Chain A
């Protein structure tokens, strides 16, 4: 792009930058506006999650998984619980399965709202961010009623749940969904089809499908590039096969397939899908006791398991090796944001300064999950 090449200056989009979604440093080589090379530097938020897990029993690992991806803590718990249950081949009553699906889909809504809001902020639109956070507040209130906490829930346990739905909770969820559905096309009106927004995001940071697969990118970023891959459908866990929902895929309506706008729009469509799932799950909610299958002492048999679930950012994989003791021998968490950030170096070089941040925002990374 740039014809005039002065000597390259390295610039640190440093750990304390307003739009790096956490503590991330981008070491950037640039000669003015055009950025020729981006190298993300991570590790500022490393809390040795995996070393902790080797000294803590299976029940006590759950508050740690919350703190990895603190924006979608329910999905983390869910992924971990499903992995350990497969290790112990423990079967969970139906009501627990339904509640788990409802709760993690609600958390997916909250996480997407945050992702789209901050993406709007990176591109400069300030108001949609506040609209989205106003609605996210409602979901957090619901979670607060359910398990006391707004962000780090420690709600889904291995083998069941910590609390059951309080009386009248289902109606509240339905009220929220009825309120929330029309808001979506309000966001579309103010941001998605806004000419300047389209100009800023179409054809920016295009991520071709093979590059995405080779970089292990998953979730909305991969679906934005046109690959129809969603763990809830392709490698079903829990009871997702009982619900019918389709998987939105980037089609390049505005720019080319796989640009920032596609990734943004895939998340927007995914929200409508999640609403569909929640409605079906609430309608089909059976009765039963959620504490029934909670094992007294979790001692999985020797062996290892690698289980993947669909978190709002992509494939959240848990590799757990147990040696029969109540403490995991080795626990590795494959974080989707980690792979999404690794592709940053590839697709963000050659763009302008403000585009690099727009691409970063569209990848929707969470540093807690990257640095573990």
Chain B
């Protein structure tokens, strides 16, 4: 009986600072590495939010296939010439590591309300353009895990570039244009 009381007494007396509660509004995560000694850039990854650099995306849809919950939707269309820059719809022909882009990404939506943050989509991506923000990728995009919305549909992040209809019509495949 008394040993138990002894322990709580000892705990009370020795107020140790390494308790693990995190004062959220002030100490934002990733908190200063108090007790495990790892700076958050040394983390393997941090599962915060998916971010896509659309300029690098060549529309290969590997991430769409890899997603276990099918929460990524991509639509692409063949661009005129391979690797050609199309200024008016701000479509860059070359990716950052020089590969030529043959497809224009019309739509690249990730539904973050359904995403299970398993990070399976970032591995197959040849251009490494889909990644989790922060941690080792913090040079590409600072960490962002505060993206809650009031309406569920706003959680559908649209990464493709917004382009007016008639400008894009020029690049839609010919026969589709005939019927429209």
- Nearest chain A CB to B130's CB is how many angstroms away? 15
Q: Is A283 among interface residues, defined by CB-CB distance under 8 A?
A: no
Given the known interface contacts A56-B68, A63-B68, A152-B118, the answer about A167 and B42 at a Cβ–Cβ threshold of 8 Å is yes
Give CA–CA (A140, B7) in the complex, Å: 25
Given the known interface contacts A148-B45, A189-B4, the answer about A172 and B120 at a Cβ–Cβ threshold of 8 Å is no
Residue of A nearest to B18 (CB): A134
- Secondary structure of the A contact surface, majority rule: helix
Could you say which residues of chain B place their CB within 8 Å of the CB of A146? Answer: 44
Give CA–CA (A75, B116) in the complex, Å: 19
- Nearest chain B CB to A165's CB is how many angstroms away? 9
Given the known interface contacts A146-B44, A148-B132, the answer about A154 and B120 at a Cβ–Cβ threshold of 8 Å is yes
Is there contact, CB below 8 Å, between B117 and A190?
A: no
Is there contact, CB below 8 Å, between B20 and A163?
A: no
Is there contact, CB below 8 Å, between A190 and B119?
A: no
Give CA–CA (A138, B38) in the complex, Å: 12
1/0 contact trace for B5-20 toward A, CB 8 Å?
A: 0111000000000011
Residue of A nearest to B10 (CB): A186
Residues of A153-206 at the interface with B, using a CB-CB cut-off of 8 Å, are 154, 162-164, 166-168, 172, 175-176, 186, 189-191, 193-196
Q: Is B59 among interface residues, defined by CB-CB distance under 8 A?
A: no
Give CA–CA (A168, B39) in the complex, Å: 12
- Between B1, B19, B119, the greatest number of chain A beta carbons within 10 A of the residue's beta carbon is seen for B119
Give CA–CA (A330, B35) in the complex, Å: 44
Q: Is B37 among interface residues, defined by CB-CB distance under 8 A?
A: yes
Is there contact, CB below 8 Å, between B1 and A172?
A: no
1/0 contact trace for B143-178 toward A, CB 8 Å?
A: 000000000000000000000000000000000000
Q: Is B141 among interface residues, defined by CB-CB distance under 8 A?
A: no
Is there contact, CB below 8 Å, between A141 and B35?
A: yes
Could you say which residues of chain B place their CB within 8 Å of the CB of A138? Answer: 20, 35-36
Our pick among A60, A168, A175 for the contact of B66 (Cβ within 8 Å) is A60
Which 10 A-B residue pairings sit nearest by Cβ, starting from the closest? A60-B68, A63-B118, A163-B44, A137-B20, A148-B45, A148-B47, A154-B118, A141-B36, A190-B7, A145-B38
**Can you list 12 A-B pairs with a CB-CB distance of less than 8 A?**
A134-B19, A138-B35, A144-B43, A145-B43, A145-B44, A148-B135, A166-B43, A172-B36, A189-B6, A189-B7, A194-B3, A194-B4
Residues of chain B touching chain A, judged by Cβ–Cβ distance below 8 Å, are 1, 3-4, 6-8, 19-20, 35-38, 42-47, 66-68, 116-120, 123, 132, 135
